[in-house]
Structure 1
Amino acid sequence: MLDTQPIFDTLIPTTPTDQPDWNRFLAQTLQTFDCTTGTLHRLDPDSGLLTLVAYAGLPPFIVPKIEKIPVGKGMAGIAAERREAVQLCNLQTDESGVARPAARDTKVEGSIAVPVLFNGQLYGTLGIAKPVPYDFTDEEVEALMNIGEAVSQVLV
């Protein structure tokens, strides 16, 4: 059984006006799911773009390429568009067109992006990945979707 409580604990701000420490949240998420790379994007209501909030384990030259992502582009954008989890067992060998070409530069393989939703409304996306081929289990996908719902309550 996956213990996600430490992740939920990171979402509790220290004061009512504080935002959670998104880097701490992402680090705890990566630890819980035994991943090395992750991103959290917020949907900017004005531009309609997914805007990077936090990241971990990415090469620095990748960051400018993922700071703003159109809905429908790449794994995060497709997860946002479909409002469902999108995963690849091996991003390095994927030929579906889901992953953008620059995504291979991350050197990750097993990867998943989930929408950050509440009552069907999109607030952003959460993505995590492993350096080896991996299929996330139904339990892990459900846990990530629940984490995304909790994030939606505080991602402003």
Structure 2
Amino acid sequence: MTEAAETTEAWLRQWITDHGGVGGTVHARQGDDMILTAAVNIPSSVTEVVRVVPRGKGMAGLAFEHDAPVSTCNLKTDDTGNVRPGARAVDAKAAVAIPVHDAAGKVRGVVGIAYLGERAMDDRELALLTEAAQAVPPA
């Protein structure tokens, strides 16, 4: 693991803990794709599926495309089409994918967090998570 990857993973571990999550991911933008740069408590079968996420696919790809958080109350039962089938293997229910921005305001990545229980996130909680996610180290 590179020093940058270790730094990002350490940041992600702390961010998950600070916000009561059980797992999460960091994707960095590379053209029209999101490339996985860190994962915490995510099964290897899922990390393989989300290693490269195209714009508009899955929660991270939709957060990138719409430049807005994408959330679900329950990964296992979500039927919106926002959750990719592989994500159901994560031992969690609620999840949110949050776009992060560069200095020019363009999406530079997406941070995801998963929660053990089912929950709906209100605008206040999404705003707090979004603000905190902007601190993710650049890839």
TM surpasses 0.5? yes
Distance 1:148 1:56 in 2: 15
Given that 1:117 and 1:148 are in contact with CA atoms closer than 8 Å, whether structure 2 keeps it comes out as no
* Structure with bigger RCO (C-alpha 8 Å, 6+ apart): 2
Q: Are 2:24 and 2:40, in contact at CA under 8 Å, matched by a contact in 1? A: yes
Matched, 1:84 2:59: no
| Equivalent residue number for residue 15 of structure 2 | 29
Q: Is the 8 A contact 1:23 1:55 kept in 2?
A: yes
Match of 1:75 among 42, 45, 59: 59
Residues 1-156 of structure 1: matches in 2 within 5 Å?
Answer: 19=4, 21-45=7-31, 48-118=32-102, 119-151=104-136, 154-156=137-139
For the pair shown, the structure with the greater C-alpha radius of gyration is 1
* Structure 1 vs Structure 2 CA RMSD: 1.7
Note the alpha carbon deviations across 1:12-47, whole angstroms, 9 max, x for none: xxxxxx7471111111111111111100000013xx
CA distance, structure 2, for counterparts of residue 61 and residue 91 of structure 1? 15
Residues 42-65 of structure 1, C-alpha deviations (whole Å, 9 max, x = no match): 0013xx210011100111222111
> For this pair of structures, how many residues does the alignment match?
135
Structure 1 residue ranges, 4+ long, deviating more than 4 angstroms after superposition:
none
List alignment gaps of at least 5 residues for structure 1.
1-17
TM-score after normalising by structure 2? 0.89
Most deviating of 81-90 and 118-127: 118-127
Q: Which runs of 5+ in 2 are unaligned?
A: none
TM-superposition CA deviations, 1:76-105 (whole Å, max 9, x none):
100010000111011111111010111111
Percent identical pairs in the alignment equals 30
Q: Work out the CA distance in 2 between the residues paired with 1:147 and 1:44.
A: 22
Q: Distance in 2 between matches of 1:63 and 1:149?
A: 22
CA contact (8 A) 2:45 2:86 kept: no
CA distance in 2, matches of 1:126, 1:22: 11
Report the 3-state secondary structure (helix = DSSP H, G, I; strand = E; otherwise coil) of the residue aligned with 1:90. coil
Instruction: Give distance in 1, aligned partners of 2:75 and 2:46.
Output: 15
Q: With structure 1 as the length reference, what TM-score do the two structures score?
A: 0.80
Q: What is the distance in 2 between the residues matched to 1:120 and 1:84?
A: 13
